[in-house]
A and B are shown apart, each in its own frame.
Chain A
Amino acid sequence: MSALRLISNRTSQQALSNSDYTWDYEYYEYGPVSFEGLKAHKYSIVIGFWVGLAVFVIFMFFVLTLLTKTGAPHQDNAEPSEKRFRMNTSVADFGRPLESGRDFSHQMAEESQSLFHFCINEVDHMNKAKDSQKGPGLESNIQFQEVPRSRG
């Protein structure tokens, strides 16, 4: 890659400041760049880039927190449930890999139940919206009975 080789050149040039270019293959001349008559600060691209990046990340964060605070697009009727749901596993740890193994089967069970619960709601809504497929409806009924999945 010409850019990398170029920089290898400059690197080695930096290291041996008195010697000539050390890599002897084709590259385009960096050449002396004239810095006369610059209107803006010479590091303006660097500063602009990092400021833009920071703004973008902060903007993304605020959009996500705003999504947290506003209401859901459609209010679903919450079904009363006898089982306890663990908040932590469903929301905050969605970024964490779901665990397997004997020690975590309990966590998996509750997590599975909460996921099933939601999937069933979604599937039911799809049913009502489309009013066409009976498969998913049947599926949801059957899966509701299903024991939480075990990972092997």
Chain B
Amino acid sequence: ENISDFSLNITDCTQVVVPEEVFFTVAAAGILENLLILIAVARNKNLHLPMYFFICSLAISDMLGSLYKTLENIFIILCEMGYLTRHGDFEKKLDDAMDSMFILSLLGSIFSLLAIAADRYITIFYALRYHNIMTLRRALVILAIIWTFCAGSSIAIALFSYEAATVIPFTILFPLMMFFILCLYVHMFLLARSHAKKIASLPTSTVHHRTNMKGAITLTIFLGVFLCCWAPFVLHILLARFCPHNPYCACYMSIFHVNGTLIMCNAIINPMIFAFRSPELRSTFKKMFYCSR
């Protein structure tokens, strides 16, 4: 790290550089993991359910995020080695396309998490009518709408990124969605907790207090991971728009690569907390690996 922290009057905050090897390893791990999930869901007919489709949508958006970072790095390396010109129109369009890919990944992530939370909410609160409410066709329609909206918004944001009018909705969307997801999960959690209390009052059951703690831990992990991985980047966008020349803001913006790496770490962690918690998916993985040997 090139942080110079002697006295305050010296040099500016230099960019904190993440080594290329770390970058590519994290990106590759994210892409592979999410690809495996897509393959597993495609191969196992038991997993053709709305909830797994939403998990696949999350996997796709995570993959796009990691892919973006990888492509950007490869692009820069190619420029270093001289295979690509630096002043071309083509490069600019390529860069535009990659920016919109990244924003697509962020929006896709947020909406996929929202869809997963809503699906679980309906599973718990409308358990008896779940199959009528969330049919496979409806799930696919919902996913199509989500991705069309995300694609349109990402292209619009990438083209008109200079306007404050695009940055502000973009940064408001993030905490709003998070708050909504938090409310859904807290409501589910309260239901599970009061249900547990009912069961605890039954004479024949033994209740472990630890299982309630486990629910709290699970929920905190869900939301804490998403927040810690995406909020730094969103703050960066805000600061870059509104105070680029302020020294404090500039110092925050110097850790941009770390923020980018965090987003790729989110792509690695998300499958673990959503997809791999399903025993059916895990057994599909095992079959895939043992059959290939």
Contacts and interface: CB of A to CB of B under 8 A. Distances in A.
Contacts of A43: 3, 5, 13, 251-252
A23 B171 CA distance: 26
A98 B251 contact: no
A94 B188 contact: yes
A38 B151 CA distance: 42
Contacts of A2: 161-162, 240-241
B92 A46 contact: no
A48 B205 CA distance: 47
A23 B92 CA distance: 8
Interface in A47-74: 49, 53, 56-57, 60-61, 64-65, 67-68, 71-73
B214 interface: yes
Nearest to B46: A101
Interface residues of B, number: 102
B277 A96 contact: yes
A131 interface: no
B42 interface: no
Given A33-B247, A33-B250, A45-B248, A5 B99 contact: yes
Contacts of B253: 7
Given A42-B247, A85-B202, A118-B195, A104 B280 contact: yes
Interface of B: 3, 5, 8-13, 15, 17, 46, 49, 51-52, 55, 72, 76-77, 79-80, 86-87, 91-92, 95, 99, 102-103, 120, 123-125, 127-128, 130-131, 157-158, 161-162, 182, 186, 188-199, 201-205, 207-209, 211-220, 222-224, 227-228, 231-232, 235-237, 239-241, 244-253, 255-257, 277-280
